[in-house]
């Protein structure tokens, strides 16, 4: 079996159409560290067929559909970067071996549930019931005990400062195992902060996905950082804050604004984002919201031109005629999303001295507070 320098936790359709696709394309051009070992960490037997299909010799398909530079795009990409697929439930010894001997990068996208602390997290030995950070800590401990070299850990979960957050949890779990181990983690493990962005709307069975053309993996630069590959969608940046604010307060804010309008109107439960954007009045209202209530804050922050470009891209992405992206899905945890995407944006503008009218955004925050 070939050496796999990338050890990946998570089999989500997002990773299939994002990191794994990038690595596959880069490998074909000789610009990647090498192939991937994918690990299913949940132990869910229902996903076993997907696990097997991910490492099939011919790879799996990703259908890229949407609008790119104003023109329709529809193409199939075969992803062949995954050399093997394992599960923590039955393959833990082999996963440990790969983490100790092969891995240069440990990548993850296990979702919020995968990071939630569990009762077994403080055990000194492996338990399937452990959270992902606890499993990662045991792998790092095994690498430390074997005199392992430096390593990059790249969480792709949508958590602010995800690398720093994961590092803090690992160090919390590492301290009881060994003070020397905790010190080794500090000195030898780079926890990369990153932001991922791609709408991956549908799974394909048994493996694969449907995704939009737009893709971004922004990674904050750090000493000794190792990237899995060189790819046009990967941006190495000095500070993630600008990109985070563009995504959170334009794309994510726009989604939440559409959901708020939809909930107020009591529209069809199956309404898609593309169907909302096909309504001339809704699209015009969203564009006007961006122009009057969003752009002034970005101008005050000093990156109005970037925001203008990102708004144009966002409107194009929302209108993608191929993606099945339901407002009912976006509406999950709507109150929290209003707080983070709209309420925090209003506060940011206030701190910058923005005094323009934001009546639509403020009304959504007020109505949520009264609900």
Q: How far apart (Å, rounded) are the C-alpha atoms in residues 245 and 307?
A: 9
Give the residue from 80, 334, 327, 60 showing the smallest Cα distance to 211: 60
Q: Helices 179-188 & 132-145, crossing angle to 10 degrees? A: 100
Domains in the chain, start-ordered, CATH in brackets? 6-237 (3.40.50.720), 241-370 (1.10.1040.10)
Give the pLDDT of residue 270: 78
Q: Residues 149-157: what's their mean pLDDT?
A: 95
The sign of the torsion formed by the CA atoms of 315, 317, 318, 322 equals positive
Give the pLDDT of residue 158: 83
Q: How far apart (Å, rounded) are the C-alpha atoms in residues 248 and 237?
A: 17
Tell me the whole-structure pTM to 2 decimals: 0.88
List the structure tokens of 208. Answer: 């694969």
List the structure tokens of 346. Answer: 């209003």
Give the residue from 340, 354, 343 showing the smallest Cα distance to 301: 354
Q: What is the mean pLDDT of the chain?
A: 93
Give the pLDDT of residue 191: 98
Judged by DSSP in three states, 220 sits in strand
The model's pLDDT over 27-42, given as tens digits with 9 standing for 90+, comes to 999 999 999 999 998 7
List the structure tokens of 78. Answer: 């075969």
Give the pLDDT of residue 329: 85
Inform me whether the pLDDT recorded for 299 exceeds 90.
Answer: yes
The model's pLDDT over 92-138, given as tens digits with 9 standing for 90+, comes to 999 999 999 999 999 999 877 889 999 999 998 999 999 999 999 99
* Confidence band, pLDDT 50/70/90 cuts, at residue 322: confident
Q: How far apart (Å, rounded) are the C-alpha atoms in residues 134 and 188?
A: 18
For tokens 């799974």, the residue is: 203
Element (H, E) at 244: helix 241-246
Give the pLDDT of residue 1: 56
Pairing assessment for the beta strands 209-211 and 200-203 based on DSSP bridges: antiparallel
Give the pLDDT of residue 210: 94
Give the pLDDT of residue 71: 84
Give the residue from 207, 189, 228 showing the smallest Cα distance to 85: 207
Give the pLDDT of residue 46: 64
Inform me whether the pLDDT recorded for 150 exceeds 90.
Answer: yes
Give the pLDDT of residue 278: 93
Give the residue from 361, 226, 209 showing the smallest Cα distance to 296: 361
* DSSP labels, 292-324: IIIHHHHHHHT-HHHHHHHHHHHHHHHT-SS--
Inform me whether the pLDDT recorded for 68 exceeds 90.
Answer: no
């Amino acid at each position: 079996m070939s050496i796999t320098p990338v050890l990946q936790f998570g089999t989500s359709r997002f990773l299939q159409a994002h990191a794994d696709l990038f690595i596959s394309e880069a490998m074909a051009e000789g610009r990647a560290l090498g192939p991937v070992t994918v690990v299913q960490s949940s132990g869910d037997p229902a996903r076993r067929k997907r696990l097997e299909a991910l490492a099939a010799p011919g790879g799996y398909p990703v259908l890229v559909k949407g609008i790119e530079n104003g023109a329709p795009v529809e193409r199939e990409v075969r992803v062949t970067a995954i050399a093997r697929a394992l599960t923590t439930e039955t393959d833990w010894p082999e996963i440990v071996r790969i983490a100790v001997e092969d891995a240069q990068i440990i990548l993850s996208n296990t979702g919020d549930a995968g990071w939630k602390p569990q009762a077994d997290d403080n055990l000194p030995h492996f338990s399937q019931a452990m959270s992902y950070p606890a499993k990662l800590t045991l792998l790092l401990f095994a690498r430390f005990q074997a005199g392992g070299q430096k390593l990059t850990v790249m969480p792709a979960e949508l958590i602010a400062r995800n690398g720093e957050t994961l590092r803090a949890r690992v160090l919390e779990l590492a301290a009881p195992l060994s003070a020397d181990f905790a010190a080794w983690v500090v000195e030898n493990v780079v926890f990369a902060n990153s932001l991922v962005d791609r709408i991956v709307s549908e799974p394909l069975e048994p493996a694969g996905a449907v995704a939009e053309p737009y893709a971004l993996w922004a990674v904050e630069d750090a000493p000794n950082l190792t990237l899995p590959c060189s790819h046009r969608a990967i941006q190495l940046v000095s500070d993630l804050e600008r990109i985070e604010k563009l995504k959170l307060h334009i794309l994510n804010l726009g989604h939440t604004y559409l959901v708020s309008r939809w909930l107020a109107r009591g529209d069809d439960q199956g309404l898609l984002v593309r169907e909302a954007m096909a309504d001339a009045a809704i699209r015009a209202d969203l564009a006007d919201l961006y122009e009057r209530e969003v752009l002034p804050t970005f101008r005050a922050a000093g990156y109005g031109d970037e925001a203008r470009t990102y708004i144009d891209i966002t409107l194009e992405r929302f209108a993608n005629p191929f993606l099945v992206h339901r407002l009912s899905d976006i509406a999950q945890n709507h109150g929290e999303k209003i707080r983070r995407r709209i309420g925090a944006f209003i506060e940011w503008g206030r701190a910058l001295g923005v005094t323009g009218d934001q009546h639509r955004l403020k009304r959504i925050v007020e109505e949520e507070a009264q609900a």
